[in-house]
A and B are shown apart, each in its own frame.
Chain A
Amino acid sequence: MSNDTLYAIKDLSVEYATRQGNVRAVDAVDLDIRRGEILGLVGESGCGKSTLGKALMRMPPGKVVSGELLFDGTDLTKISDKQLRQIRGARIGMVFQDPMTSLNPIQKIVDHLTETIRTHQPKRSEADARLRAEEIVDRLGIRAERIDEYPHQFSGGMRQRIMISLALALRGDLVIADEPTTALDVIVEAQFLDLLRDLKNELGVTIVLITHNIGVVAEIADRVAVMYAGKLVELASVHDLFDSTKHPYSKGLLRSVPNIDLDGTDLYKMSGAPPNLLALPSGCSFHPRCPEVMDICSKVEPPFAPVEADGNHATACWLYQEQSVSVELRS
């Protein structure tokens, strides 16, 4: 594992139980998260990106059924609950989608912070922890004298900043942001994204940004991973994804974004609907909706493999894997 990979996800599958049976929300995902990057994780609702994000911290409701989660050398699937707890909040932090409900309504902001700090650094005194809290809150643009207030006294945007400050209160190597701006209005969202960029540049924080909004990803991500029906279908730098999109689903996704230059042409709409995770199509899960579908697509699932020699752009599509695998098929 190269030194600049912070988190190596290998062949990860995550399931959770529903009334109709076990759903495999994440299926055999291979992904490397590099230090100091902002990785965007995009896809439609129900594609598994949220479950994957939560699984990075082994949060419920998903259960890891196979694969490895190598965070800075430690396999999170194999460590004890106590060790897991030590990592959560200290080295990996999470920012949730709904700022209105993510904070304890009867706890002051400062107490949220000092509690987190002192849970992971019990030797620190209350006063010391408070100083650190003031420091981090200030860094994130909140006036230090407000930390004695309660969550309901803050606006949505401010609350998201508080959430980030909680995620970074300690060492904060990695921040997983699960749809952080969905509940915010556009201007606040822009400010929030600026903040994320600053954090990356100044503090070297690695961020996984989970969103269904391509625009957000285009703004600040370094690399983008596209998910569909629990599988990773494309992984590329943001530049490559937009300029030389490979997977038909990614293409469809990008075309779906309303264009300001609309000249009367209809909005593009992908045919069909996301599949039922309990009854996936055979072969490639996207094949029923794919405008470039081939015979093999409904029979064999395409492997997730690099398309170019440098390995920085990978996709799971028979359009780009044909050569090597059809040889395998014949033999």
Chain B
Amino acid sequence: MHPLLLTFMIFGIPALIGLLYVFVRGTPSLRRYIVTRVALTIPMVLILASLVFLVLRIIPGDPVTSSLGPKGSPEVKEQMRANLGLNDPIIVQYLSFLGDVVTLDFGDAMTSGQRPVVDELGEKFPATIELIVPAALVALTIGVLFGTFAAVRRKRASDYGFRLFSVVIYSMPVFWLGLLLILVFGVWLGWAPTGGRIDAVINTTLERTTNMLTVDSLISLNWAAFWSALHHLVLPTLTLGLILSGVFLRLTRINVVETNEEDYIAAARARGIKERTVTYKHALKNAMIPVVTLIGLQVAILLGGAVLTETVFNWPGMGRYLVERIGLRDFTAVQSTIVMFAVFVALISLAVDILYSLLDPRVRY
């Protein structure tokens, strides 16, 4: 089965089940909200895809010439142009583009063997997922934990310490941090591998299904592969996760500080509820609601950071693929990859909004 489909299923099916559950058990207002929100995803994807189209085709520059360079003869170039439909009027191009997006017909890569882009993405997309998910978890854990700490100890030494940490770490370019970590932990200390997803030798023993190596190795009970994949995951995940934790720390801190000012928090203290309970159960839970919506937007930063991290760590994911294809002027692949990113972002945004509606009962009832 196509790995792309598999990946979507692994995340998509539980999400769908959850969605159906909420839909069935929710109130009419919640159902209305879900339907509206799902419907809104379509224009969002369309807008983004159209933007991609706009950027890549209307802006001057002949993609065929830039990809083939001086090598191609005029006849070959003409043929390519015809194939890509570049001679058709813009409207026709736009409509056929939209049609392709809907049917997921991504065409063939313009160089390197003209492999169907879908296959390439099928390999690369799960790799990116395997990097992003743990990174996001690391960032969230560090960020929320320390953010709450800082908020509670507001205006005291540790608050400023945490805030300084979050600002400093966010100010580091992610690729630089990655390189430094490779230098220190990979080269000088030798504790972690300096690149790639898995040891080359062990790789030959691993059977790929979803193309997420940790998952695949667990499925086939290949423990050597599992540990190797995990080992290779450490540095890239840490790089991406640390940088993002700065953002989450600031976000959490501000929201908890604001929530702490609310009357019901003072009222809870007036009832003798323990300080720790007030902070974590009352303040944090309420503060998390706006943070959740903002997390959805942080996915954008996450993906951007993933591009750079994949480049530095030689991680064969969608980000590095994009950069590579741009360098080769592979117009078809670039277009399709960006659309893929857009779809992904739209789906995450949808998931976050629905999650938000679940957390805040004011929306539900």
Contact = CB atoms under 8 A, between A and B. Distances in A.
Are any A and B Cβ atoms less than 8 Å apart in their complex?
A: yes
Interface of A: 57, 59-60, 85-90, 93-94, 96, 98, 101-107, 115-116, 119-120, 149-150, 152-153, 163, 166-167
Contacts of B165: none
B258 interface: no
Contacts of B262: 101
B272 A88 contact: yes
B362 A116 contact: no
Nearest to A82: B274
A119 B286 contact: no
A60 B275 CA distance: 14
B359 interface: yes
A89 B365 contact: no
A120 B270 CA distance: 13
Contacts of B263: 96, 98, 101-102
A89 B271 contact: yes
Contacts of B277: 119
Q: Which 7 A-B pairs have the closest CB atoms?
A: A89-B271, A89-B272, A88-B272, A101-B263, A94-B270, A85-B272, A104-B264
A94 to B, nearest CB: 4
Contact of A104 (B268, B272, B365): B268
Nearest to B360: A106
B285 interface: yes
Contacts of B285: 106
B271 A102 contact: no
A87 B271 CA distance: 9
A105 B268 CA distance: 12
Contacts of B269: 59, 88
A116 B267 contact: no
Nearest to A152: B362
B15 interface: no
Given A96-B263, A96-B267, A150-B365, A105 B286 contact: yes
Contacts of A167: 271
B224 interface: no
Interface in B351-365: 359-362, 365
Contacts of A85: 272-274
Q: Is the interface on chain B under 10, 10 to 19, 20 to 34, or 35 or more residues?
A: 20 to 34
Contacts of A116: 271-273
Given A96-B263, A98-B263, A105 B270 contact: no
B37 interface: no
A186 B365 CA distance: 29
Given A104-B282, A105-B361, A106-B286, A119 B264 contact: no
Most chain B beta carbons < 10 A, residue from A87, A89, A149: A89
Contacts of B267: 94, 96, 102-103, 163, 166
A59 B266 CA distance: 8
Contacts of B282: 104, 107
Contact of A90 (B266, B272, B361): B272
A107 B271 CA distance: 15
A104 B273 CA distance: 13
A292 B301 CA distance: 70
Contacts of A89: 270-273
A101 B286 CA distance: 13
B360 A119 contact: no
B264 A101 contact: yes
Nearest to A169: B271
Most chain B beta carbons < 10 A, residue from A85, A87, A93, A104: A104
B268 to A, nearest CB: 7
A86 B272 contact: yes
Nearest to A150: B361
27 contacts: A60-B266, A87-B272, A89-B270, A89-B271, A89-B273, A90-B272, A93-B271, A96-B263, A96-B267, A101-B263, A102-B263, A102-B267, A103-B264, A105-B360, A105-B361, A106-B285, A106-B359, A106-B361, A116-B272, A116-B273, A119-B273, A119-B274, A150-B361, A150-B365, A152-B361, A153-B365, A163-B267
Given A102-B267, A105-B362, A150-B361, 14 more contacts: A85-B272, A85-B274, A86-B272, A88-B270, A89-B271, A93-B271, A98-B263, A102-B263, A103-B264, A104-B268, A106-B360, A116-B273, A119-B273, A119-B277
A93 B262 CA distance: 18
Contacts of A106: 285-286, 289, 359-361
Contacts of A57: 270
Nearest to B288: A106
Interface in B259-306: 262-264, 266-274, 277, 282, 285-286, 289
Contacts of B361: 105-106, 150, 152
A98 to B, nearest CB: 6
Interface string B227-265: 000000000000000000000000000000000001110
Contacts of B289: 106
A86 B273 CA distance: 9
B258 to A, nearest CB: 13
Nearest to B282: A104
Contacts of A59: 266, 269-270
Nearest to A61: B266
Nearest to B362: A152
B68 to A, nearest CB: 60
Most chain A beta carbons < 10 A, residue from B268, B273, B277, B289: B268
Nearest to A103: B264
A148 to B, nearest CB: 11
A107 B268 CA distance: 12
